[in-house]
Structure 1
Amino acid sequence: MKTLINKFFAYINLNKGEEDKNKVLEAVISNISFRGSNLWILACAIVVASIGLNVNSAAVIIGAMLISPLMGPIIGAGFGLGIYDFNLLKRSLKNLLVATVVSLVVSTIYFYISPFKEALPELLSRTSPNIYDILIAFAGGLVGAVAITRVEKGNPIPGVAIATALMPPLCTAGYGLALGNFKFFFGALYLYSINCVFICLSTFLIVKYLKYPIKKQLDEKHQKQVKYIITCLTLILIIPSIYFAYQLFEEKKYQYQIDAFMETEFNNKGIAILYKKTKLNETPKKLELAFLSKRFNEDEIKKLNEKLKSYHINNTKLLVIQDTTDLKSDILNEINNNKTALSQQDVTILNLKKEISVNKYDNEALLAEMKILFPEIQNISIANHTFNENTDSTKTVPILLYKSKNELDASSKKKLVLWLQERLKKKQIEIYNQE
């Protein structure tokens, strides 16, 4: 058993194939600076990434991430924390700040002068972080740090540049600034910051694992001060990161439970959901839903709210939107605030579907029921007709055209109208014989 354990540790030993530590540190320090060519490469990469987001091209965005030198100062900061080198940490953070500001300025200018302002899916996906972004940044940072410390650098570094995705959030933040949309700006900047923090943390862990020598200071007192400052900075970095990771995990779990609730209670029962929105920042949280044709009464909505607890969805209130006008207004407001990927065309299609659903009658089923009471009726056609359009007294009335063997007498017509009013839940109905 001991032999197996030793073999296992031999397989995962990172010391095998490790580059000389001094050479690694020299390479890390040389990649920190953002002056001259590095700054030009960064600016060009930002333009390429912005174009990729603008035209919704994943290939162009990947190309921009490959040529971006943004990883340098983040890795440098991780090394600075790991070896207690305050000067290295300070230089790394300074250069990261320069790179971030330059990137924001370039992307803001691009999106400001670009004639295409629409927020496409590639751009929208970078407006807020989730738990997977944290996992990718952390795992990508580990791979990047391990690759830098190898004699043979190999292929991982280009892959790390793509996986950690530092460029797109920065460009998205520039898009938010250019359009004055600060929800986009802060959301994208938050995603960028989380990526930077977790890449830095994973680098710090690798540096500690490989036991890089701690930088000696001029005197013992100064050594203790540097250790104290770096330790505090590390804790400041780690503690909020754990909180953010937990918060995003809980948010992802909550959304999964919401999806399970909607799938079981509506989709599996053939009830089409037209609109969905969750409000997580309110107390209690709110889940807003609207449906294509199904309408719920107060008791049904109350029962659905009670069912939320069985899906472990606590502190949440279900609100069913059943007013088409209000629904259209809500969706359009979402679009204006850039909170959804729906376009004006999508809204039009959804409202047309709703209108068709409201105005459509099942002629075949109605005829089958009608023949029981009125055997002489052979065929029918029923549809809504709008009167007094473009006036203050617009009204919509269902019109029934029927074909019968014999003309219905006045009593039968009255009975037919009363039956239809009750059957269709309409106050006014007109019927005409098709000659």
Structure 2
Amino acid sequence: MVKIIRNLFNLHEGEAGKKKTLEVVKDNISFTGSNLWILVCAIMVASVGLNVNSTAVVIGAMLISPLMGPIVGAGFALGVYDFILLKKSLKNLLIATITSLFVATVYFYLSPFKEIQSELLARTSPNIYDVLIAFFGGLAGVIAITRVEKGNPIPGVAIATALMPPLCTAGYGLAIGNYKFFFGALFLYCINCVFICIATFSIVKYLNYPASTQIDIKNQKQVKYGITVIVLLMLLPSSFFAYRLFKEQQFKQNANLFIEKEFVENGNTLIYKKINYNNNPKIIELAFLRKNYSEDEIKKLTNKLNTFDLQNTKLLIKQNATDNLEALKKDILNEVNKNGSFEIEKDQRIVTLEQKLIENTFDNKQLFSEIKTIFPNINSISLSNQNITTVDTTVVMTTLFYDSKPKLSEKDKEKLKNWMQKKYNLKKIELTIKD
């Protein structure tokens, strides 16, 4: 059984000659002539893709980029203790990195469009998952390099490990003076470089590549200690960012559950939601269609936050949301621009919002519970705005359809009509009995 498993995972089968593989790796290290031109073109393509928020263009740039060469070269150099190759690899990687940063910074500085897009935001907060992607992506890439038949993992590795976009995002951070973006993206780039290199080193050692020169045990230990220190330097902050990401996702899930249980299930139509985890205290900001809350109600809802594990959180409810529709639209559009996570264009979002407001003009569930208290004979209601069109114009008429057994008296009808007009500030309302 052990032999079968060993044969299944045998990397020596189909392995290319070690000498030939090393020659291929060395040929891909240099960043002069055509390689440098290809790099510059890839940077421009990636920068434009990030700028216009096009995932397809960004993927294309990853496939063009030759950045993997010196990183894999450094991994091989460490594995065979070739310090001349290591020096050459690191030198070329530095040239490629500085060139990429320079070109991306110049592009974003000159670009008239400097809005923060989702593709840019995705490269500013690295975490432990990026470490795993870089390491296992690097493993797949290096295994493919050492094969006689190269297969098709290399393009996939280039996309998964994503070396080019973080560099371009770092350039964007420099161009707009946002150093949080710059250092976050640069850290992600360093994670990718280091763990692709470590994955390469691991495969080289596993395949028993011979040392280029005899090296004493002391120097071998120094290499291993150096790699261990670098791994820890990358893992510790990455783990911290991963923990923050986990806590943020947990907070958002709890916040959405709170909104669902305390508002939506009670028949309130939610038209605006903003959850801010990074504030202190954290903020949940909401607005509802034709529903206002008193200070006592907001206080009771705030007290319920702890039961949903939402400690240190402030609940803000926008009152009279439909009366301040234009301001609310601006808030929603600001969130669209800020998060960049909506694929629908702004105009489509506005149309969707307006349609929703028209379709849900009144909260009939809430209205029915109130009417039933005053007029127990009423069994069902439906309040809506009707468009009455004539030759010359279109008039919006508010109509209440209701069913009552026994039927309401004329006095009760007048009382109901006056109550509805006062409640919704209406000049006129029509009452219609359901058949």
Same fold? TM cut 0.5: yes
**Distance in 2, Cα, partners of 1:298 & 1:180:** 42
SS of equivalent to 1:321: strand
Corresponding residue to 2:233 among 233, 236, 252: 236
Shift in alpha-carbon separation, 1:84–1:8, aligned structure 2, 3 A: same
SS of equivalent to 1:205: helix
Q: Equivalent residue for 1:194? A: 191
Q: Equivalent residue for 1:165? A: 162
Corresponding residue to 1:95 among 82, 88, 92: 92
SS of equivalent to 1:320: strand
The answer to whether the 8 A contact 2:127-2:240 is kept is no
Identical residues among aligned pairs (%) = 56
Deviation, structure 1 residue 181:
5.1
Corresponding residue to 1:319 among 315, 319, 323: 315
Q: Equivalent residue for 2:419? A: 419
1:75 aligns with 2:78: no
Q: Equivalent residue for 1:36? A: 33
**Distance in 2, Cα, partners of 1:228 & 1:319:** 50
Which deviations, in whole Å up to 9, do the C-alpha atoms of 1:285-331 show, x marking residues without a partner?
A: 444444455544556555655655555x4545152331446755654
Instruction: Please list, as runs of the form range in 1=range in 2, the aligned pairs for 1:214-233 lying within 5 A after superposition.
Output: 228-233=225-230
The answer to whether the 8 A contact 2:46-2:58 is kept is yes
Q: Read off the aligned partner of 1:419 and give its amino acid letter.
A: W
Deviation, structure 1 residue 35:
1.9
Instruction: Give unpaired runs (5+ residues) of structure 2.
Output: 387-395, 401-410
The answer to whether the 8 A contact 1:401-1:431 is kept is no
Corresponding residue to 1:108 among 105, 109, 114: 105
Shift in alpha-carbon separation, 1:261–1:433, aligned structure 2, 3 A: closer
Q: Equivalent residue for 2:407? A: none
The answer to whether the 8 A contact 1:293-1:354 is kept is no
**Number of residue pairs matched by the alignment:** 401
Which deviations, in whole Å up to 9, do the C-alpha atoms of 1:378-424 show, x marking residues without a partner?
A: xx9989xxxxxxxxxxxxxx99899xxxxxxxx999966863476x2
Which deviations, in whole Å up to 9, do the C-alpha atoms of 1:147-170 show, x marking residues without a partner?
A: 122232221112211222222333
Q: Read off the aligned partner of 2:14 and give its amino acid letter.
A: G
SS of equivalent to 2:316: strand
Instruction: Give unpaired runs (5+ residues) of structure 1.
Output: 384-397, 403-410
**Distance in 2, Cα, partners of 1:81 & 1:271:** 63
Shift in alpha-carbon separation, 1:121–1:420, aligned structure 2, 3 A: same
**Distance in 1, Cα, partners of 2:245 & 2:58:** 25
Q: Read off the aligned partner of 1:317 and give its amino acid letter.
A: T
**Distance in 2, Cα, partners of 1:188 & 1:296:** 43
SS of equivalent to 1:319: strand
Query: How high is the TM-score relative to the length of structure 2?
Result: 0.69
Instruction: Please list, as runs of the form range in 1=range in 2, the aligned pairs for 1:220-369 lying within 5 A after superposition.
Output: 228-259=225-256, 261-262=258-259, 271-298=268-295, 301=298, 313-323=309-319, 324=321, 330-331=331-332, 334=335, 341=342, 345=347, 348-349=350-351, 352=354
Corresponding residue to 2:3 among 1, 6, 18: 6
Q: Read off the aligned partner of 2:148 and give its amino acid letter.
A: V
Deviation, structure 1 residue 42:
0.4
Q: Equivalent residue for 1:48? A: 45
Deviation, structure 1 residue 41:
0.7
The answer to whether the 8 A contact 1:104-1:171 is kept is yes
Q: Equivalent residue for 2:404? A: none
